[in-house]
Structure formats: C-alpha cells, structure tokens
C-alpha cells in the first residue's frame, strides 16, 4: 500500500483548470487498488472541486502562495508518513521530504508574447524552475508542454507525459435536457459555440472577425446562425460584445456557465470553435467531441495531438482561413456528421481512469515499488 498525499489546496474554483484536473484525477485515483490517498485542503476555500467521502482530507493553515508552506507542509508530510507528495501547482514546498511529483500544464506567460507583464514572467520562470528542481518527477499534460519545459531547462528524463481525461458526464444529452438549457439561456435554434475567456492567447478578436467575414461571404449563414460565447471575461481585455460591435456582427455572450450545464451546452451547439493561439492541452475540444459536437480548432501547440484527425484544424492567425472553415462546416451537413462520428471516437480514447492509471505508475516508480 502506497500512501500518496495530493495537495488539493489549489483544487478550487479560483483555479478552474487545476480544479478540473485535480477533481477528475483524485476521483479516479480513489478507485485504484493498493493506494491510500490523502488530500491536503484549504479550509478557507469557498468552493472546491473535490468530493470524496472515503478519502481523508487534512486542512492546511496556509495557502500555496504563502511562504509559511515551505516549512508547514514538509512537517505535515512527515507526520502523515507520506510515501509520495503530488502537487498540481508549481507553488509548492521545495524542501526535500519524500519523493515529490508536480504537474505542469502550460508555459503561456513565457511562450505567448503580450499576455503578462515582465515582472510576472520573471516570477513565473523562477517558480517553475524551483518546482522542476524540487520534483523527482514532472508530469506534463501534453508533448507540447513537455517540449516547452525542456526549453525552459527541465531535464528530459524527469518528464512524463500523461494526457488529461474526459469525465463521463460529457456525452450527448437528451432532446429534453438540451431544450431546457436552450430556454434557460435564451439560445437560438442554430449556433456555433465558443467556451473560454477573453484573454489574449484565446484569440477571440480573430474569431469574431472571422465570423463577420463568414457571414458576409454566406448571407444565409449570417441570417440563420449565431455565434455564442460562454465564459468569464477579464475586464483588462476586449469584451466579446464590444468586438461584435466593432466588426458589425451578431454574437450572444452568456457569461460563465456552471460545470453542470456544460455537457448540455456542448450538445445543443451545432459547431464548437476553439481558435486558441496556445494550449497546454485544450480539454474543451475533447469535451465538445464527447458530446457529439463537430469541432474547428487551431493547428498549434498541443491541439493537433489532442484532436487528431477528428477536428477541422486551421492556422489561428489566418482570419480568412478561419472564416472559410466556419462557412464550410456550417453549410455542409455531411461534414458535420463526419466530424461528429470521428470526435466521439477520439474523445473515447481519453478518460480520467487512464490518467489515474498512468499517474499511479509514476507514484509506484517514485516510491520504489
């Protein structure tokens, strides 16, 4: 029996990406044989993504951002007699206690220009190097992230690539469920969907401009279809409604969508568009595929290795190519059906059970079993 202490203090709604990873992984890990799982939690967190009644949760009186964790967490690991410590966040205790595993998702501040100020990039680089040096094993969520880590200086032989999974809740939903969601959000009969923030690397201005171009090239598309944008918007960057006014096009912004509504939202959409400039993995692409929604996504960073041949891929910096892809998919029923079939098969290859099984292998290797 190996005792793994998983640091779930960042598995909260404040870190939605880490929350999705931590929740999906720990729920699947809890079903593994010969593994004793303990979660470190932040008792002050307003909402967490983990709900595992049979797993011990130990409160930690300091956040991952505090200096005090550098001595508080190692002392706790010794008291718990941990065989392996796993941090899903690069702000972690760097002192040596037991074998350490850290998960890295992306290096957006370092590889996508203009997304973060210079001081933050300096801190981000330093913190990642400290975490990489302290860890006995680094888990990268894609080959793309692994390559970026190597360029940062992380030893190649320290990195294991383990892709993310798609939860079983992401599946085509019933007509009654999708119709109820359509009424609740005031969604049109035919629409293409974008899910994500308006941060620069998400490439939202080019998406709205491409939608405007496609609507002009195909007036029937502009008259019959709507672009729907879901997600929390950062006030530092252009809002989707302002972009719609700039490009003279109809876009419906519905704001943040609760996790429980996402499967039905994907299911009711006729097309999912994900034109991101850079993704560590691109989980929304697989989630949309798992719900039977055809996908257009970028041909950059991790997205080709995630989507395979099940999506129509395009250069995210080429607005005309993106517009042509949108027009082509929406006007061709046969192509949408083909992408739906391929997408369902592709998404079925990714599960949290697979992620947990491969992560469990890392734990055993680091514990010496």
pLDDT means over runs of 10, the chain (369 residues): 93 82 93 91 71 80 88 94 96 92 94 84 92 96 96 93 96 96 94 95 96 85 86 92 93 93 97 97 96 98 96 97 95 95 98 96 90
Q: How much is the pLDDT for 47?
A: 59
Place of tokens 């011990």: 56
* Longest Cα–Cα distance in the chain: 67
Strands (E) in the chain, as ranges, are 2-7, 35-41, 56-59, 84-87, 100-104, 137-140, 159-161, 191-195, 226-230, 251-255, 271-274, 295-298, 312-314
**What does the angle CA 284 – CA 220 – CA 211 come to, to the nearest 5 degrees?**
40
Quote the tokens at residue 306. Answer: 């995630």
Q: What is the pTM of this model?
A: 0.92
* Contact present, 285 and 295 (Cβ < 8 Å): yes
Quote the tokens at residue 113. Answer: 């220009």
Quote the tokens at residue 329. Answer: 């998919």
Provide the sign of the torsion angle of the four alpha carbons 265, 270, 274, 275, taken in this order. negative
CA dist list (Å): 207 to 121, 161, 223, 270, 275 = 27, 30, 18, 16, 7
């Amino acid at each position: 029996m190996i005792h793994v202490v998983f640091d779930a203090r960042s598995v909260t709604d404040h870190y939605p990406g880490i929350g999705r990873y931590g929740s999906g992984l720990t729920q699947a890990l809890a079903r593994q044989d010969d593994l004793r799982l303990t979660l470190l939690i932040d008792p002050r967190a307003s909402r967490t993504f983990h709900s595992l009644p049979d797993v011990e949760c130990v409160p930690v009186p300091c956040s991952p951002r505090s200096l005090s964790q550098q001595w508080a967490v190692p002392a706790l690991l010794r008291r718990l007699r941990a065989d392996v410590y796993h941090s899903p966040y690069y702000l972690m205790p760097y002192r040596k206690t037991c074998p350490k595993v850290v998960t890295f998702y992306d290096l957006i501040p370092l590889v996508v220009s203009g997304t973060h100020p210079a001081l933050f990039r300096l801190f981000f680089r330093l913190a990642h190097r400290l975490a990489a040096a302290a860890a006995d094993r680094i888990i990268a969520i894609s080959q793309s992230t692994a390559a970026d880590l190597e360029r940062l200086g992380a030893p190649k032989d320290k990195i294991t690539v383990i892709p993310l999974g798609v939860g079983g809740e992401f599946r085509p939903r019933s007509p009654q469920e999708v119709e109820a969601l359509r009424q609740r959000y005031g969604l049109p009969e035919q629409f293409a969907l974008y899910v994500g923030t308006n941060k620069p690397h998400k490439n939202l201005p080019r998406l709205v401009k491409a939608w405007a171009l496609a609507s002009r090239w195909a007036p029937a598309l502009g008259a019959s279809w709507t672009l729907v944008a879901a997600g929390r918007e950062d006030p530092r960057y252009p809002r989707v409604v302002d972009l719609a006014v700039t490009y003279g096009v109809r876009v419906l912004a519905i704001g943040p969508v609760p996790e429980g509504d996402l499967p039905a939202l994907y299911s009711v959409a006729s097309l999912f568009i994900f034109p991101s400039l850079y993704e560590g993995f691109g989980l929304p692409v697989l989630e949309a595929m798992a719900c039977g929604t055809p996908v257009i996504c970028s041909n950059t960073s991790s997205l080709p290795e995630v989507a395979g041949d099940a999506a129509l891929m395009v250069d995210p910096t080429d607005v005309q190519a993106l517009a042509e892809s949108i027009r082509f998919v929406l006007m061709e029923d046969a192509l949408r059906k083909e992408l739906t079939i391929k997408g369902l098969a592709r998404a079925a290859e990714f599960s949290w059970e697979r992620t947990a099984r491969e992560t469990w292998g890392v734990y055993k290797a680091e514990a010496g079993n």
